[in-house]
Amino acid sequence: MVDSPSKRSADAADSATRPRGRHSARAAGLVVSLGVLLLICVASIVVGAKPVPLADVWHGLFHYSGTGNDVLIQDLRVPRTLLGLLVGIALGLSGAVMQALTRNPLAEPGLMGVNAGASAAVVTAISFLGVTSLSGYVWFALLGAAVVSVVVYVLGGSRAATPVRLALAGTAATAALYGYVNAVQLLDAVALDRLRFWIVGSLSHADMTTIRSVAPFLAVGVVLALLIARPLNAMEMGDDTARALGANLNRTRLLGMVAVTLLCGAATAACGPIVFVGLMVPYLVRALTGPDLRWILPYSAGLSPVLLLGSDVLGRLLVRPSELQVGIVTAFIGGPVFIHLVRRKRMAQL
């Protein structure tokens, strides 16, 4: 039976409206994600180990007069929230970019050794070179992240790199570097005291000086990550297909690794190594948005701070009046998720 012209026109109109419907749904979901992020930011300012009445929170934000609660809100919780926002964006974007570069859904800066490289460089700077300021050791964090990124890529087989090789190389590098970090801490009591909160990942020492020190690096990393979304889409279909589509593979890989280095190095320098955020959020976002990096990257940038700040708030509430560092909370959340991912049949076949 031959379809009538009216039916063919209706089918064509329906197929044309479906992409627009998906686009609208993704855009609406992104708006909802930003709304959730705003609520989490408010909760991060309002909720803490010390209860503060809402009237005092409002006073501290808009009518600062130097009282105890004003100082708590303006000088402690606001910088902590801002740093958590920036670090969450950095971890989410770097995780999404690394998963696209390696075509490995298990890739994440913490699992690929990047955070360990930054940590080892910072420990070296503090213990052996006497560097004490964030503005000084942020450069060491960036250098350490860059060196380990290159080493893992080379050990993983360079041009013949596979997800399994990269994961093994990253795991080996992480184990070796954290062994070095632990050895230095045990041998240097000053370094141990200075790093005991930083090494597990913490937002508790955030201040505006820290934010101003890392913000330029994070801004450049965010811009680079967003700019390479289109060629990353092509690379996910394979190198031959990407070349046929006009993507410059070497330039895209270089810009991607520079973005990951800037984002992870600055984030690690600011608050220590925080794992699993860059793995969980991009993976879950991909299930919601599909494989298009032009949507995965904005969603990851919006939802990763939700996970990070939410974990930080949870850590303040679980052991009141003390605090549980955010890196510990994300590890407790991320561990079972990671086990679930690697047990999936599709993961086992990589």
- Residue 7 above 60 pLDDT? no
Rounded to whole angstroms, how far apart are CA atoms 348 and 346? 5
The alpha carbons of the chain give a radius of gyration, in whole angstroms, of 22
Q: Crossing angle for the helix pair 208-227 and 249-271, nearest 10 degrees?
A: 160
Which residue type sits at 48?
A: G
Q: In this predicted model, what pLDDT tens digit does every residue of 265-309 receive, in sequence order?
A: 899 888 888 888 998 899 889 888 888 999 999 999 999 999 999
pLDDT confidence band for 164 (50 / 70 / 90): low
Average pLDDT over all residues of the chain? 83
Q: What's the pLDDT score for residue 96?
A: 94
Looking at 207-248, list the stretches that DSSP marks H as alpha helix, in order from N- to C-terminal side.
Answer: 208-227, 229-235, 239-244
* pLDDT (mean) for 82-111: 88
Nearest residue to 315 (alpha-carbon basis) of 274, 263, 264, 268? 274
Q: What's the pLDDT score for residue 9?
A: 46
Q: In terms of C-beta distances under 8 Å and separation of at least 24 residues, what long-range contacts does 223-226 make, across chains too?
A: 224/255, 224/256, 224/258, 224/259, 224/262, 225/93, 225/94, 225/96, 225/97, 225/256, 225/259, 225/263, 225/297, 226/93, 226/297, 226/298
Nearest residue to 327 (alpha-carbon basis) of 175, 199, 174? 199
Return the structure tokens found at 211.
């934010």
* pLDDT (mean) for 305-322: 90
- Residue 16 above 50 pLDDT? no
Rounded to whole angstroms, how far apart are CA atoms 283 and 347? 12
Q: In this predicted model, what pLDDT tens digit does every residue of 196-247 receive, in sequence order?
A: 767 778 888 888 988 998 999 999 999 999 999 999 988 888 778 888 888 8
Return the structure tokens found at 29.
């979901």
* Maximal C-alpha separation, the chain: 84
pTM of the model: 0.86
Enumerate residues 6+ apart whose C-beta is below 8 A from 58: none
With contact defined as beta carbons under 8 Å apart, do 202 and 271 qualify? yes
Q: What's the pLDDT score for residue 12?
A: 41
pLDDT confidence band for 6 (50 / 70 / 90): low
Q: In this predicted model, what pLDDT tens digit does every residue of 117-155 receive, in sequence order?
A: 988 998 888 888 888 777 777 889 889 988 998 888 788
Which residue type sits at 332?
A: F
Rounded to whole angstroms, how far apart are CA atoms 140 and 143? 5
Return the structure tokens found at 51.
């209860």
Nearest residue to 126 (alpha-carbon basis) of 113, 150, 149, 144? 144
